[in-house]
């Protein structure tokens, strides 16, 4: 279950702005890639941000349930896993891998019903080798 996993966090600077990362601890990409070949990104356009692009503190606290639902959407049903959460430049993006037959539009439908106040954008593609997360992990050394 999504809520049982521990996460590592990091704060970096990219292009002069803070970049916050959360990654699940202990994922073995080469084992998981066999089950989850579909790459999905869910970008949440944050409404209340500071000048540096990070969310306002109170607003960020209010996003807890939204965050939990996104992370749990794939994981709780065994359809996939969230591999990275990135907050940068007024956006929070959830990077996930899912089973090949998982319809990404289902995420949009479910999140839209529960959290219609949040603007999100969902993209997906096949990434059987998990090249996105492997490159990202290499670039940021996690």
What is the DSSP-derived secondary structure letter of residue 47? S
Give residue-wise pLDDT tens across range 122-132.
999 999 999 99
Instruction: Please state the pTM of the whole predicted model.
Output: 0.94
Task: Extract the residue ranges of the chain whose pLDDT is less than 50.
Answer: 1
Q: Dihedral of CA 45/115/33/125: which sign?
A: negative
Written as one string, the DSSP assignment of 86-115 is: EEETTEEEEEEEE-TT--THHHHHHHHHH-
Q: How far apart are CA 124 and CA 97, in angstroms?
A: 9
Q: Dihedral of CA 71/73/74/78: which sign?
A: positive
- The CATH classification of domain 2-140, taken from the options 1.10.1060, 1.20.950, 3.30.43, 3.30.70: 3.30.70
Residue 127 has φ and ψ, to the nearest 5°, of -145, 70
Q: Residue 86 — left, alpha, or beta (φ > 0 → left; ψ -120 to 50 → alpha)?
A: beta
Predicted pLDDT of residue 5: 77
Predicted pLDDT of residue 3: 56
Predicted pLDDT of residue 2: 54
Q: Which long-range contacts (CB under 8 A, 24 or more apart) does 14-17 make?
A: 14/88, 17/52, 17/53, 17/88, 17/89
């Amino acid at each position: 279950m999504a809520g049982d996993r521990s996460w590592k966090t990091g704060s970096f600077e990219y292009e002069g702005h803070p970049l916050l990362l959360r990654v699940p601890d202990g994922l073995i990409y080469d084992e998981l890639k066999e089950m989850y070949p579909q790459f999905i990104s869910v970008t949440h356009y944050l409404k209340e941000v500071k000048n540096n692009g990070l969310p306002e503190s109170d607003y960020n606290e209010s996003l807890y349930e939204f965050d939990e639902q996104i992370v749990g959407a794939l994981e709780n049903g065994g359809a996939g896993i969230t591999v990275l959460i990135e907050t940068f430049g007024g956006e929070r993006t959830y990077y996930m891998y899912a089973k090949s037959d998982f319809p990404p539009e289902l995420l949009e439908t479910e999140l839209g019903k529960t959290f219609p106040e949040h603007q999100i954008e969902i993209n997906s593609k096949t990434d059987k080798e998990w090249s996105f997360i492997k490159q990202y992990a290499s670039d940021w050394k996690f």
